[in-house]
Amino acid sequence: MNGGDARTLANGLLLSTILRIVFMICQRYEYVNCDFTISSGIYGSNFFALTGFHGFHVTVGIIGLGVCWTRSLMGNTYFGKGAGCDCFIWY
């Protein structure tokens, strides 16, 4: 990111965001077609709690990487302004 190709960064961020969205679509499909509910006991509540927190984590990542992608298209990712993008890439 620092001194690299901005176009490559933008393409990588876009691909990562698309894959995260595909994951969320698959997770929604899993929720809808699941044979148990959150009230099905400890296994159901654990499943929905863990995958729900992970889904929240992925959603925050989609938003953050979307902001980084927009900044990379504007060429606004050089040292001193790219720290937020560095954090979201690691997130």
* Helices and strands, number each (H, E), in the chain: 3, 0
Q: What is the reported pLDDT for 89? A: 73
DSSP code of 26? H
pLDDT digits (tens, 9 = 90+) for 23-74: 889 989 988 888 888 888 899 899 889 988 998 998 898 888 888 888 878 8
Residue 50's nearest CA partner among 63, 18, 58, 61 is 58
Q: What is the reported pLDDT for 56? A: 92
Q: What is the reported pLDDT for 14? A: 86
Determine how many CB atoms are found less than 10 A away from the CB of residue 88: 17
- Domain residue spans in the chain? 6-90
Question: Average of pLDDT values for 69-82?
Answer: 70
* CATH number assigned to the domain covering 6-90: 1.20.120.80
pTM: 0.72
